[in-house]
Structure 1
Amino acid sequence: MALLLTLLPQFDNAGNYSNDVLQMEHDEVFFEQLIELEQKEGNEVTIPFQSFMGNGGATMKYMHGETLKSDYGDNLKYVSAIKLKLLMSNYQPFSWHNRAVRAFVLQLPDDLKIWLYWH
């Protein structure tokens, strides 16, 4: 089973929620670079935020709601959009799906948070 990543960009810099769910296809080389960025520049989420990756309990795996921990039970981390944009600026994804995610991220305002949901 491959490690999966969903990017949850902050809706605006005044809100503590994400309305977008950007599911990335597995890319080992890029994920290694992103994990390194997360370890160096990532900030741990200490206050839950609202997203469509909220815990749905026994009936649904994900639903809109409070989001704080990954499927592994770890607190999520976030990076600033500018940091992720710098990493993605030279990223040339093979999959069309990851090319679309990259294009979306590159258009985000620099000061937004991007929560990293590993699963």
Structure 2
Amino acid sequence: MADGPVTETYGLDTGRVIAVLNDVVATEVVCWLRYTRHAISATGIDRAQVAAEFTEHAAEEMQHALRAAERLSQLGGEPDFDPATLARRAHTDYTTRRLIESILEEEEEHADDLTDLLAV
């Protein structure tokens, strides 16, 4: 328990996992900014519905960033919220993979929602 999440059996390069998580943080922050911008600049008769959808997605993106930042902090890293630090992707451990898979699931849901809005 005193070792926290990084025990002898962890088996991965913690520095590499932290780097991947920082990439996730940067990506999610950029997505949050984009969705927020789209919510603010939505126009037309369906503006309220479109803005609400973008606002919902923006909130989920920020939660993704915060979840990834919390995990990398647990692993002893420092969250880097500068989107300019986005680097190449790497494979992650099981817990981090589940986190990223859950984020991907929500991203796919966002794409479906936007496709539905555009089809109207």
Taking structure 2 as the reference length, the TM-score comes to 0.29
Structure with higher helix content = 2
Structure with higher strand content = 1
Higher Cα Rg: structure 1 or 2?
2
